[in-house]
Amino acid sequence: MTISVVEQHFSINKILLRAGAIWPYHRTKLVKFHLILVFSILSSCVLFQLTTFLTTECTPEMVIKILCYTSYASMYVLTYSSFWLNVDTIRCLLEKFQYICDELTDEGEIAIIQLYGNGVKRFTIMVLLCTMSNISIACLLPFFPRILRTFTSINVSQEHFTVHIMREYFIDQEKYYYCILLHFDVSIFIGTLVTTATGTLLFGCIKYICGIFRIASYRIDQAMQTATLHHAVLSNNFILYKKIVRAIDIHRKAVKSVIVLSLCDIITSNFVGTFFIMMILHRAIMLRSATEEYVAYVSLTGAPLVYIFFANYAGQNIADHHNYIFTSVYNCKWYITPLYIQRIILFLLQKGTNTYYLIFGGILVLCMENAAMMVSTSISYFTVLYSTQQSSRYN
């Protein structure tokens, strides 16, 4: 059975990345023009927020308010440019997956990779539906007052439905309100689409690597079953040796795939942007007293926190699958195998003594422990700011 990695398991990611002009294949001149257009839209969203400094008095509170939304939009630009710079690495990784799948002949191994691949596709659909529905509601929110005034007798002010984002287009913003709103909505929609596409693709690559690790565990289990059933037959020792070597070989390929994936600085750039956003938003919450501002700031922190959770969850998943291989080796009946097989097993046991983690950029270790530490640090920062504000208010 032939497995097409891209067409069967990454087809939705392919459509999304083509829409954003960052699909690793088929780099035509039209695609390059599409790339420049998308990058210009995302960059202009940040630029027109920064131009507010030219026409507004730069008080500390105003600077923080502008930077809150600007930094969030900057994360879209950072994600887009980072993925484009690493597009060759992503293509190399997808080709590695296809090469590994082409070598699979055992039905059990094919079933394992199909299981993980289908899980990748389901996860992509779930995240896409969630993000697109939320961003569509947010983009349509300013039009609700006009809809209510048109079809009902309810008189609702438009101010309550407009997000108070500081922007300066150097034109009459009342006259060209809907043109400005269209530009902003398109920018946010494209940014969300790109972030969803790149994030789900990276998560899918990590899940695929987990599937390859599970195939290595499966091969070791199958080899040990051969040793248990035919331990008295010397002619089967060579078959046992070949099965263990095949398990080690696919484990080596999985580790190489992790190394290729760690060369991408996409998640690293997102974590840097996420940390910057969380710090600014916490500070902004301390400075503002309006309830609607609280809701806006807390909503903006939700997406980075979800990104942190899923990135660390995926990294923890790789560590667990890698360690499961050596758990299978620990639990096997190694003592009934020939001496040279026992030496190979001893080598595997020694490799299993080292803790294995997915590291991005040489600084970010993706595991649930680090995710908890980052959230705990943010909460501590928030608590200190709140306590300081309360103390100064009473004094």
pTM (2 d.p.): 0.84
- Angle at which helices 291-331 and 177-229 cross, to 10°: 10
What pLDDT was estimated at residue 275? 56
What pLDDT was estimated at residue 160? 44
Chain segment 308-344, per-residue pLDDT in tens? 788 888 888 888 888 888 787 777 777 777 777 777 7
What pLDDT was estimated at residue 395? 58
Integer Cα distance of 243 and 251 in angstroms: 12
Chain segment 245-275, per-residue pLDDT in tens? 888 888 888 888 888 877 666 555 555 555 5
Q: List the chain domain ranges.
A: 5-394
Which H/E stretch holds residue 311?
helix 291-331
Q: Which residues of the chain have pLDDT under 70?
A: 1, 144-164, 226-237, 263-300, 352-353, 360-363, 378, 381-382, 385-386, 389-395
What pLDDT was estimated at residue 280? 59
Integer Cα distance of 166 and 188 in angstroms: 15
In one-letter notation, the amino acid at residue 174 is E
**DSSP assignment letter at 135:** H
User: What are 242's two structure tokens?
Assistant: 């070949």
What pLDDT was estimated at residue 122? 92
What pLDDT was estimated at residue 126? 92
What pLDDT was estimated at residue 265? 60
Give the CA distances from residue 102 to residues 96, 98, 204, 321, in Å, rounded to whole numbers and listed in that order: 10, 6, 18, 22
Chain segment 20-42, per-residue pLDDT in tens? 888 988 888 898 899 999 999 98
Instruction: Please list, residue by residue across 355-386, b when 16 or more beta carbons sit within 10 angstroms of its beta carbon and e when fewer do.
Output: ebbbbbeeebebbeebbeebeeebeeebeebe
